[in-house]
Every structure is written in C-alpha cells, then in structure tokens.
C-alpha cells in the first residue's frame, strides 16, 4: 500500500493531542498537498521536509502525487515540531522505511534544509500527552532527551538528523551528526532570578506578629494575600519570605511546573525545576510588565505568563496599583478559578494558575500616609489618594483571602534584645503538617489545599459547626462580607483548624478567619493561639 502513518503531538495551551500523520504516495497530478487544518508553519513543512529528505540522501517521490493528512482533521495543527513525523511518514509511504516500524513511536522535531534537527518548545507536555494516550516511545532532538525522560514510563531516544532518525527506526547503525543546538530564545545570561529569596529567613523579621501569622496561614492553605502599608513598613520583606514557608513540591507538582517551563522554551528551567530542585517558584514581575507577560498570550504561538510560571509557588505583585488597569481586572479569573484561558480567533489556550498571589500596595502615591495623623507625612491630597486606591477594584479585592495592614516598626521593636523571631524552618514544619492533613482530607479529589475547594462543596461536605457558621452569617447579613467572601472565610477557618491540629474549625477559628479576611487588628490572644 502506498501510504503510511507516523505519530506526533500538537498542543493547545498545555493540553496535548496525539496526531496521526498519514502520507499517501500515488499516481495522479504531481503535487504535494497538506490537509487537516495546518497553520502557516506546518504548511511550510512541505518545502522543509522535501528539501531535507533530498539533502539527506533519500529520494522524494517527485513523479507522484503526495497527500499528507494530519488527523483528526478538525483540530488546528501548530508548530514546526511536526516536521520529523511528516518526513518519516512520506519516507515510509515511498518504501524507504518499513512502515510497520513506525508503530508506537511519537516523533517530535523541526527539520532544517540539510536534514538536521532543531530544538522545539513544549517537549515535556507533549511527551506527557503521548504517555496519556498509551504511547511508550518518543523520538526527540537529542537536546531534549533529559527533558522527555522526566515522564515516567516513556522511553526517549535522541536524534540529531533525519538520517539518524531513519537509522534508529530501521534498527541500523546510526551515522554521525553535529549536536542539536539549544533554542536561540533560551537565557544567555545567568543570575539568581527567582532563587534570590532562597537565603531569606523569617528569623530576620522582628515584630510584625500579625503579618507573620498571615504568612503562615496563607502558606498553609494556599491563600491569596494582600499587604498594604506605608513605604518601608516591611511588605516586600514579608512577601519574599513566603516561599521559604512552603513545603517542597511533590513529583507531580514539579512535573506540572516543568511542563510550563517547557512551553516557554526554557529547557534549563525544565531540568532545574524537575531534576535538581523541588522548591516552589517565586516570580516578581515589575509593575511596568505587560498583560501578555503576566497573564500569557503573545503573537503566533500562545505562551504562558508569569502567573503560570509561578505554578504551585508565589507570584508577588509589588506596587500593585501601578500595574496596568487591564492586568488588574484580568486577574479576576485566575484568582477565582486557578487557571487562565486565552481566546484568540479560533484558538483557545488554557494555562494553569494554581498560584499564591501576593499583592503589595502603599496607602497613597507618595507612600507616606499613616492613619495616625501624628505619624503621617503624606503630601498627597485626598482626591489623589482616593484615585490611587480606586485602581484596585472591588471585584479583585473580594477574591483576596487575607488582607493585612502593615505598620512600620518602632525603633525599640527593631532593637529589642528579648526578641527572638521564629525561623522559617519551624514555621514550615507547621505548614507542612497542615498541608498533610489537607492531603488526607482531599485524597481522591482534584484539590490539594483548602484554597482549591469550591465553596458549595466545602459547605456540603465539610461545613462549619453551628456557632462558627452563625458568626459568618452575621457578617454576611450585615454586608461586611459577600457570598464569595463567606466562602473564603470558610476556607480560612479550615486552614486555621489544620494549623492548630483540630478535627474541624471552631468559633475561634471562624472569628480569626473573619479578622484576617477583613484586615482587622488581631488581638494578642489570637497571635498566641497560632502556635497551639
């Protein structure tokens, strides 16, 4: 039969689809036809593959009609990584390669005109998709072998050229070829980046007991957090120490994070994130960042943004009111649902955003406003302060679980010889214990932490006891919390119960959750109870 099938994968966001590349070589009008909704880069594969095959010493069927189908035909196909599968399908259809030896192999790689392979983006999620569809062997450019081997149960083989791919499939001696270079879009400089917070410790933070408690609760339940206060009060100091309170990533979480790095073309980040370190990521984009860089998008192929690159970690948005109003409003969906969906024409891409978002803001543009008139040195007028505060919309703040107003330390608090702040390691132990309780409670579900659980499910399966629910209902009737806010208070109460080692929330947990939610001052008794 003059036709053959090779397999590859195409991506829609982080969702992979296995594609059958069917090539038919038959009598008819001499032409090469590509069908199955290819984009421009896939359509150009006809010329790349024909030239690569010829320059690799093989014969392109120049006297036949070549038809290439990318199946399923209704699914858009994007990316030059389909080249290798297209070329191998044509060679098999022309009887250069035994078509039966293509069974069970997924092929990924872009071809140059001389038949060499180039690195591609998104190898890890594509290999994960291939495994989910029952495939167990993948052929990739050799620079991606370590990345592909991160997926359990997959046999990854690296090749450098079309000639090597043909030899590997045929079981023959593999000819020599120059190594595949890394992508030109990879990082060319090395600096600490998101790892700059590794050496920061809560032991360096004096005072700010309510801020420290807020960090611990946020870390334990995966809650979003907003810190406000005058400049120099310690908002950034607290936020940068939040990743140090989080437990190590699990293997599954690390693999998910690595898949996002792979979609961004960051091979180094993929291997570093999955092979050598398990710490949660910390991302802190500047307030001049664009909507595409923070949420995701871009021209051509859609890329994940900073909120997805901080998956299972912390996204810190300092000077939040200075961000573009488009970014502020666009945060509603990821804050609520833990994912970002980008729709553009006929392309819809969804990226994960199960990320702890920490917002930091000053009370006014100059940052010197203080509620105590004796300490306030603000030079802003009331109208200017109001305009500044109004940039943070109500729907966004309603999706923030914890709000804390940070006051500057007094000189005696900073130099108190009796002050012995608790180190991050001790707090991380309590956070890890709380998360373990949540893991057992939500075992068999799609949720990991309290912040993930939908409000109706929480109320139905893990309700608050009578007195605690009555307290929340009072705030709801008075308009002090919304229905969404009440659900977030419910989650906070469960997180406090997990931290305290209780079987369930009590009225004290509900009271403290309401105070954390509304930004109210915390009595000393609550600060002491946090360690019980």
CA dihedral of 326, 332, 337, 340, whole degrees rounded to 10: 0
Tokens 């190898």 label which residue?
123
Sequence ranges of the domains in the chain: 3-170, 193-416
Q: What pLDDT does 532 receive?
A: 38
Q: What pLDDT does 276 receive?
A: 45
Cα–Cα distance between 51 and 58 in angstroms, integer? Answer: 10
3-state helix, strand and coil shares in percent for the chain, rounded to the nearest 5: 45, 15, 40
Cα–Cα distance between 314 and 238 in angstroms, integer? Answer: 12
Total residue length of the chain: 532
Residues 6 or more apart in contact with residue 465 via CB below 8 angstroms: 504, 505, 506, 507
Cα–Cα distance between 219 and 280 in angstroms, integer? Answer: 11
Cα–Cα distance between 42 and 339 in angstroms, integer? Answer: 28
Strands 356-361 and 402-405 turn out to be unpaired
Question: What's the CATH class of domain 3-170?
Answer: alpha beta
Q: What pLDDT does 526 receive?
A: 63
Residues 6 or more apart in contact with residue 194 via CB below 8 angstroms: 281, 282, 283, 284
Written as tens digits, the pLDDT of the chain (532 aa) is: 588 999 999 988 778 899 999 999 988 888 889 999 888 889 999 999 999 999 999 999 888 899 999 999 888 888 899 999 999 999 999 989 998 999 989 999 999 999 999 988 889 899 999 999 999 999 999 999 988 888 888 999 999 999 999 999 998 888 999 988 877 554 554 555 556 667 788 888 887 888 999 999 999 999 999 999 888 888 999 999 999 999 999 888 888 888 888 887 665 555 554 444 588 999 999 999 999 999 988 776 788 999 999 999 999 999 999 999 999 999 999 999 999 988 877 678 889 999 999 999 988 888 777 776 676 778 888 888 888 888 888 889 999 999 999 888 776 666 666 667 889 999 999 999 999 999 999 999 989 999 999 999 999 999 999 899 999 999 999 888 999 999 999 999 999 999 999 999 999 999 999 999 998 888 776 665 444 3
Q: What pLDDT does 496 receive?
A: 95
Tokens 């004290």 label which residue?
508
Q: What pLDDT does 277 receive?
A: 56
Per DSSP, what are the bridge partners of residue 24?
Answer: 3, 67
- DSSP collapsed to 3 states, 20-44: EEEEEEECCCCEEEEECCECHHHHC
Coil/strand/helix, residue 416: coil
Q: What pLDDT does 267 receive?
A: 56
Coil/strand/helix, residue 399: coil
Please report how the helices 424-441 and 209-221 are oriented relative to each other, as an axis angle in degrees rounded to 10.
30
* Nearest CA among 370, 389, 390, 369 for reference residue 380: 369
How would CATH label the architecture of 193-416?
3-Layer(aba) Sandwich (3.40)
Q: Using the Cα atoms of residue 79, residue 84, residue 88 and residue 90 in order, give the sign of their dihedral.
A: positive
């Amino acid at each position: 039969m003059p036709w053959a099938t090779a397999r590859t994968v195409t991506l829609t966001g982080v969702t992979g689809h296995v594609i059958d590349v069917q090539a038919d070589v038959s009598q008819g009008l001499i032409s090469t036809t590509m069908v199955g909704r290819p984009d421009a880069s896939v359509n150009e594969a006809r010329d790349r593959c024909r030239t690569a095959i010829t320059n690799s010493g093989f014969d392109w069927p120049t006297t036949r009609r070549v038809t290439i189908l990318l199946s399923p035909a209704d699914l858009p196909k994007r990316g030059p990584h389909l080249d290798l599968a297209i070329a191998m399908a044509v060679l098999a259809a022309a009887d250069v390669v035994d078509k039966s030896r293509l069974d069970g192999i997924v092929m990924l790689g872009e071809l140059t005109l001389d038949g060499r392979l180039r690195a591609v983006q998104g190898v890890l999620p594509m290999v994960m998709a291939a495994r989910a569809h029952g495939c167990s062997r993948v052929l990739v450019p050799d620079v991606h072998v370590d990345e592909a081997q991160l997926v359990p149960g997959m046999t990854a083989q690296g090749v450098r050229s079309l000639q090597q791919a043909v030899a590997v499939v045929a079981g023959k001696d593999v000819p020599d070829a120059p190594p595949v270079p890394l992508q030109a879009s990879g990082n060319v400089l090395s600096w600490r980046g998101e790892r700059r917070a590794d050496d920061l410790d809560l032991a360096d933070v004096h005072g700010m007991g309510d801020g420290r408690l807020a960090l611990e609760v946020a870390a334990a339940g995966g809650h979003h957090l907003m810190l406000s206060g005058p400049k120099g009060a310690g908002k950034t100091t607290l936020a940068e120490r939040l990743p140090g309170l989080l437990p190590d990533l699990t293997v599954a979480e690390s693999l998910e994070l690595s898949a996002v790095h792979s979609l961004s073309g960051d091979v180094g980040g993929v291997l570093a994130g999955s092979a050598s370190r398990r710490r949660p990521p910390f991302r802190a984009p500047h307030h001049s960042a664009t909507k595409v860089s923070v949420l995701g998008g871009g021209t051509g192929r859609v890329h994940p943004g900073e909120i997805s690159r901080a998956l299972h970690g912390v996204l810190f948005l300092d000077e939040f009111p200075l961000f573009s109003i488009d970014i502020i409003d666009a945060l509603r969906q990821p804050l609520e649902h833990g994912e970002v969906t980008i729709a553009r024409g006929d392309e819809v891409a969804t990226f994960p955003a199960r990320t702890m978002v920490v917002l930091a803001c000053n009370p006014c543009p100059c940052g010197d406003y203080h509620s105590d008139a004796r300490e306030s040195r603000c030079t802003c007028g009331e109208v200017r302060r109001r305009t500044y505060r109004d940039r943070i919309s109500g729907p966004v703040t309603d999706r923030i679980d914890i709000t804390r107003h940070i006051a500057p330390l007094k000189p005696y608090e900073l130099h108190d010889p009796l002050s012995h702040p608790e180190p991050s390691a001790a707090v991380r132990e309590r956070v890890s214990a709380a998360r373990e309780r949540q893991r057992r409670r939500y075992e068999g579900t799609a949720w990991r932490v309290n912040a993930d659980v939908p409000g109706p499910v929480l109320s139905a399966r893990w309700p608050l006891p009578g007195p605690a629910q009555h307290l929340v209902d009072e705030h709801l009737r008075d308009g002090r919390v919304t229905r969404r806010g009440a659900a977030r208070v419910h989650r906070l109460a469960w997180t406090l119960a997990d931290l305290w080692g209780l079987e369930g929330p009590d009225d004290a947990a509900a009271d403290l959750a309401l105070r954390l939610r509304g930004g109210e001052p915390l009595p000393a008794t609550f600060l002491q109870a946090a360690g019980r």
